[in-house]
Chains A and B, each alone.
Chain A
């Protein structure tokens, strides 16, 4: 929190990570990560558990020291700095509120440590609590709050220090779905209003897509792809990204060769695929540049707003098809289990997610 030590350099990214590695004994948790995160960016690190995303966050916070590599905050190397002298604050997964202090005392803690005068401390804490709609709860203990309220207190406690970067370690993980959706919108709004760089760790792809300016997808301690949510979804760079972000719909082997005319691994998003009860080549619904495949419906899942069908292709493999329920579907007009169907999608919606095998 020493501002003199982390003097902002003109044009430097908020966070610059170079060749970051972390080994725990014989386990490599982070295996060579390079990242540049711009000022004011909402940046998410997405990946399954054990993919190294949280370890990267903890190294940025200063809780773990890297085995190799450097971390810069605003152009200043902080790799060897202890957590208390870095201009970042963290919202913990378990919130880590101090149970023996009131909500106000919790929020004031960082200011108190920095010997901010009492009057200003109170004022800023009150403002921070107002920004998370908890101004009435200052006198309570964390134990008397709901999960969602605790989450907001943790947020206020971090933001009151006006850090350069806010680190969020799966902060919404413990909330129920409805509350989580609300908080996603609120967090995004807060970040836009404050203009603070957010580094957000999550394993929930929907959460990452909803909130982020850019996302880094982690797998086995490495970054698979860094892209905007749109590019990540529409143009996944690797089979892992195609599978992890959105519904996995990967075509490979003989089916890929037969349908697309070239070997490789390809991804098609389920909502891009049309499902026809008869051969589209025989009817008007055929589109010139469409790829078509015949198959049998294995499973139909009604999702409320949409219906999802899993179709086993005659050529091998299976594809998931998502259709919006624009009319309320009756049992009859959906292709049921065992029905023979034809699938079609535009050629341009097929994304190669791996380099074609050499030879």
Chain B
């Protein structure tokens, strides 16, 4: 009697559990069904959070930066004075020092970008079109691994290599080249090294998308390698080069650590921002200085857009 009771109880519990499980299993189904019927709800759930992040945290911060740059600082207490004026920008415009630093920063960023294009293109071409699949994988890993190492370690590594009795001096001595020492050249070299993967990867991806038959067609129509490079390969990867240059150019524009480590007494815009946030505690002026690279980058993007490189990327 007891046993049968237990058994029936058992089946009852088992049935309840099964029903619960079915209900739970049906829930996501029901949710999918609702989402399926309401594509707008689905879309807003999907892109809502990232849009919120982009809008508030990203553009919001940029807006705050720009607003702050239009305020001033009380020279005695050092507190921010919320009065609208263009004094910060006037100072930047009229001061010889800041103009020089701006040009120097843009020059460094441009130099880094050009050097990276010149190094990245042959490497990417080899990876995408010549190397065996095995070699290609090895090279992709070789390009990516330095990104896992700390920025500071890499910058200091260059400091040591570029020192008076460093590797560059030792090896260069055999060819009659001396280390450039700490200065602008060292900054360009170090930054070009740091951002190189950001140039190689887009160009590599661009070249991989370029079908081999395109190169064969060019040769088939009588073009030698040089002509094929100029007329077919370069135009095809131009958007990728622009994409890579946006990385190298903007990352270089904002840098302030490398120049401290290998740049000697030179300053970039980032250093001015850093000093005004820290030592001078003039946040509005720091914000005004920080606006410069943003504006330069916007001009650069507009120029890139005009070339048509940002379409169909």
Is residue A118 contacting chain B, with contact meaning CB distance below 8 A? no
Docked complex: B112-145 residues within 8 A CB-CB of A = none
Contact of B220 with A94 in the complex, beta carbons under 8 Å: no
Instruction: Report yes or no: A84 in contact with B222, Cβ–Cβ below 8 A.
Output: yes
**Binary interface encoding of chain B residues 203-236 relative to chain A, with 1 for a CB under 8 A from any of its CBs, else 0:** 0000000010110111111111001000110011
Q: Determine whether the beta carbon of A92 is less than 8 Å from that of B217.
A: yes
B86 to chain A, nearest CB (A): 44
Q: Measured between alpha carbons, how far is A316 from B221 in the docked complex, in Å?
A: 56
How far, in Å, is A117 (CB) from chain B's closest CB?
Answer: 16
- Counting CB contacts under 8 A, is A37 at the interface? no
A1 and B217 contact, CB distance less than 8 A: no
Whether A83 contacts B214 in the complex (CB less than 8 A), given A100-B235, A114-B222, comes out as no
Q: Verify A109–B221 contact, CB threshold 8 A.
A: yes
Complex Cα gap A161–B220 (Å): 11
Asked if A63 CB lies within 8 Å of chain B CBs, one says yes
Docked complex Cα distance between A1 and B235 (Å): 24
B-side binding surface: helix, strand, loop or mixed?
helix
What CA separation (Å) do A1 and B224 show in the bound complex? 11
CA distance A63 to B231 in the complex (A): 19
Is residue A233 contacting chain B, with contact meaning CB distance below 8 A? no
Complex contact A94–B213 (CB within 8 A):
yes
List which B28-42 residues lie within 8 A (CB) of chain A. none
Q: In the complex, what residue of chain A is closest to B222 when comparing beta carbons?
A: A1
Say yes or no for A99: interface residue by CB 8 A criterion: yes
| Cβ-based interface call for A358 (8 A) | no
Give the CA-CA distance A90 to B213 in the complex, in Å: 10
The answer to whether A173 has its CB under 8 Å from any CB of chain B is no
Q: Which residues of A contact B235 (CB under 8 A)?
A: 98, 100
Determine the distance from Cα of A342 to Cα of B96 in the docked complex, in whole angstroms.
Answer: 106
**Bound complex: CA A62 to CA B172 (Å):** 43
* A94 x B236 contact (CB < 8 A): no
CB within 8 Å for A113 and B222 given contacts A98-B232, A100-B235, A100-B236: yes
Contacting residues, chain B, for A83 (C-beta < 8 A): 216, 219-220
Partner of A94, one of B211, B222, B224, B227: B211
Number of interface residues of B (CB under 8 A): 17
What is the interface residue range for chain A against chain B?
A: 20 to 34
A96 contacts the other chain (CB 8 A): yes
Complex: chain B residue closest to A83, CB-CB: B219
* B223 and A96 form a contact (CB under 8 A): no
Given contacts A98-B232, A100-B235, contact A90 B216 (CB under 8 A): yes
Does A82 have its Cβ within 8 Å of any Cβ on chain B?
yes
Which single member of A92, A100, A113, A161 contacts B216 (CB below 8 Å)? A92
- Chain B residues closer than 8 Å to A158, beta-carbon distance: 220-221
Residue of B nearest to A90 (CB): B220
Report B-chain residues with C-beta under 8 Å of the C-beta of A97.
Answer: 217
How many angstroms from the CA of A96 to the CA of B231 in the assembled complex?
14
Question: Which residues of chain B have C-beta atoms less than 8 A from A94's C-beta?
Answer: 211, 213
Q: Contact at A89–B236, with CB atoms within 8 Å?
A: no
With A98-B232, A113-B227 known as contacts, the answer to whether A84 contacts B213 (CB < 8 A) is no
Residues of A within 8 A of B227 (CB): 113
Tell me if B218 and A109 are in contact (CB < 8 A): yes
Within 8 A of B (CB), among A176-199: none
B217 and A96 contacting across the interface, CB-CB below 8 Å:
yes
Whether A92 contacts B213 by the Cβ 8 Å rule is yes
- Cα–Cα, bound, A94→B214 (Å): 9
Closest A residue by C-beta to B239: A100
In the complex the two chains form, is B216's CB within 8 Å of A63's CB? yes
- The CA of A63 and the CA of B217, in the complex, are separated in Å by 10
Could you tell me the distance between the alpha carbons of A83 and B219 in the complex, rounded to whole angstroms? Answer: 6
A61 at the interface (CB under 8 A from B): yes
Residues of B within 8 A of A221 (CB): none
Given A100-B236, A113-B227, check contact A84 B219 (CB 8 Å). yes
Contact among B214, B216, B221, B236 for A110, CB-based, below 8 A = B221
CB-CB nearest in chain A for B214: A96
**Docked pose: A99 CA to B236 CA in angstroms:** 8
**Residues in chain A near residue B216, CB distance under 8 A:** 61, 63, 83, 90, 92, 96
Q: Answer yes or no: A152 CB below 8 A from chain B CBs.
A: no
- Residues of A contacting B224 with CB < 8 Å? 84
B236 near A84 with CB under 8 A, answer: no
Residues in A whose Cβ lies below 8 Å from that of B213: 92-94, 96
B230-247 interface mask toward A, CB cutoff 8 Å, 1 = contact, 0 = none?
011001100000000000
Note all chain B residues with C-beta closer than 8 A to A90: 216-217, 220
Indicate which residue in B218, B220, B236 contacts A61 across the interface (CB closer than 8 Å).
B220
- Min CB–CB distance B112 → chain A (angstroms): 27
Name A84's contact: one of B211, B223, B232 (CB within 8 Å): B223
Q: From residue B308, how far is it (CB to closest CB) to chain A in Å?
A: 9
- In the complex, chain B residues whose CB is within 8 Å of the CB of A53: none
Residues on the B chain within 8 Å of A88, using CB: 220
Q: For A98, what are the chain B residues with a Cβ–Cβ distance below 8 Å?
A: 214, 217-218, 231-232, 235
Extra inter-chain contacts (12) besides given A63-B216, A110-B221, CB under 8 Å: A62-B219, A84-B221, A88-B220, A90-B217, A96-B213, A96-B217, A99-B236, A109-B223, A113-B221, A113-B227, A157-B217, A161-B222
Q: Which 9 pairs show the lowest CB-CB distances between chains A and B? A: A110-B221, A1-B222, A96-B213, A96-B217, A83-B219, A113-B222, A100-B235, A113-B223, A90-B220
Please name 12 pairs of A and B residues whose Cβ atoms are closer than 8 Å in the assembled complex, sorted by A: A62-B219, A62-B220, A63-B219, A82-B219, A83-B216, A89-B220, A89-B221, A90-B220, A98-B214, A98-B235, A113-B221, A157-B217
